[in-house]
Structure 1
C-alpha cells in the first residue's frame, strides 16, 4: 500500500484522512493540531478560544451546504464567524480541527509546552501545505512537501515523526514523479502520529467540544 498506516476506508480518493474530508467544506482552507497529554478544553483555550464559548458538540447528521464545514454547521446560524474549532481526544492524543486555517502560527510550540509533543499541519485553498512538529515548546522539525524526500530525510528525523511519515506514505496520484510526495502527506502524518486513522463515525462516538473563533480573538 502506498499509505500503509491507513486502511482504505480511512482515506478519501485523494488521500486525505476520511474523517477530515467528511468534516471539511468543499474547497477547504484548514488546519489540524494534535497534542499528547492535553485535554481538549485546554487545547482550545491554547488556540485562543474564549473559555465561555467552549461547549459540547454533537455533529449534525448532514451538512446543509458544502460551502461550510460540518463543525461550522454545528455552531448554528453565525455566518460572520471565520472559523469553527472542533476538539476531541482518542487515547493519549487530543486533536483540534480548524475549518478555516485561522490557527497556525506557533501553535505546535504553544501546545507542546511543559514537556508535551504536538504537531500542526496546514493545507490551504491554494494547495500550500506544511507540518510543524514540536516538543516542550520548541519546534523540532518542519516539513514542506515540495522539499521532502523520504529516503533522504527520514533518517535525520525524531523516531516517532519518522514512523508517522512512513505510515502516511504517498498517495496514489498519477502526476507524481518518482520520489515525490503528495501535498496531503502532512494531514496523514499528523493523523498517524496521533492514532487518528479513523472515520467520521469513529469521531462521532467520542465526546467532542466546539468553539467559534472570532476575528478579534
Structure 2
C-alpha cells in the first residue's frame, strides 16, 4: 500500500482508517462527515440528531458484540434507533461518524458547508458501494461514485485541498485493481486526510466527544 498521509498504525491491511474500523459494527453501512468551522453540537443538529439525545461521550473499552458499533454501545440505545452519531473536532475540523448510513439523504455535505465552509460526506454500504461528496458554501463541487474514480483523469480537475487529500490517501494494494483504479476505501481516507484524522482510536478517545441518536426509527 502507498498512502503518504497515513502512518502504518493508522490504517489496516485493507486500507480502512483504523479508528473507523474500531468504531464500526459488522454491517458495513456507515458514513463519515467532516466540516470545517462548525462546532460538533451544531453539526449533529444539522444532520438530524435529536437535540435532547446529544450528550458527552466516553467510548467503552470494547463492543458488546460484533453487530453493535462502539458509539451505539456508548449511547446505550435500543436496537430500533436508525443511527447513532459520534462527533468530535480537531484542528478546526469537526467529524461526525454515522454508524448506520442514515444521514446520506438531504444533501448533508451541502447543508454542513453552508456559510462559506467546506465539507465532505464519504459513505460505504454493505454491498460495497462507496460515494464521496465535497461541497463549499452550500454548493456541491465534487460528487463521485468511487467505483468510477480514475485518479489520472480526475485529480487534475479537483480543488487543490481535495486533490491533496486524495494524494495523501493513496491507493490500497487490492489484487483486482487495474492501473489507475482505486480501492473504494479511498473516500474514507481522503476525508480523514482533509480533516487531519489520520489517527488511531486512542487518539479519538482523547478528544472531547459527543454522541447522539437520529430521530428516525427502524421499521
Q: In which range does the TM-score fall when normalised by the shorter chain?
A: over 0.9
Match of 1:137 in 2: 138
Kindly indicate whether residue 12 of structure 2 is the aligned counterpart of residue 22 of structure 1: no
- Secondary structure of 1:176's counterpart equals coil
User: Per the alignment, in what secondary structure is the counterpart of residue 165 of structure 2?
Assistant: helix
Residue 95 (1) aligns with residue 92 (2): no
- For 1:213 and 1:189, how far apart are their aligned partners in 2? 25
With normalisation by structure 2, the TM-score equals 0.96
The match for 2:187 is 186
Matched ranges for 1:86-165 at <5 A: 86-105=86-105, 106-165=107-166
Query: Any unmatched runs of 5+ in structure 2?
Result: none
Task: Describe the SS at the equivalent of 1:131.
Answer: strand
**Offset at residue 77 of structure 1 (A):** 4.5
| Large movers: runs of 4+ above 4 Å | none
**CA–CA distance in 2 between the matches of 1:43 and 1:102?**
15
Q: What residue is the counterpart of 1:4 in the other structure? A: 4
- Provide the C-alpha distance between the structure 2 equivalents of 1:77 and 1:103, rounded to a whole number of angstroms: 18
Secondary structure of residue in 1 paired with 2:127: coil
Q: Distance in 2 between matches of 1:123 and 1:211?
A: 21
C-alpha displacement of 1:214: 3.1
Deviation at 1:27, TM superposition (A): 2.7
2:36: which partner in 1?
A: 36
Structure 1: how far apart are the matches of 2:187 and 2:134?
10
Q: Which residue of 2 aligns with 1:209?
A: 210
Moved more, 173-182 or 156-165: 173-182
Q: Report Cα offsets for 1:59-112 as digits up to 9, x if no partner.
A: 000111111100011111512111100000011100000000000120000000
Q: TM-score, normalised by structure 1?
A: 0.97
Which residue is equivalent to 2:60?
Answer: 60
Q: What is the SS of the residue equivalent to 2:168?
A: helix
3-state SS, counterpart of residue 14 of structure 1: coil
1:77–1:155 distance in 2 versus 1, CA, 3 Å: closer
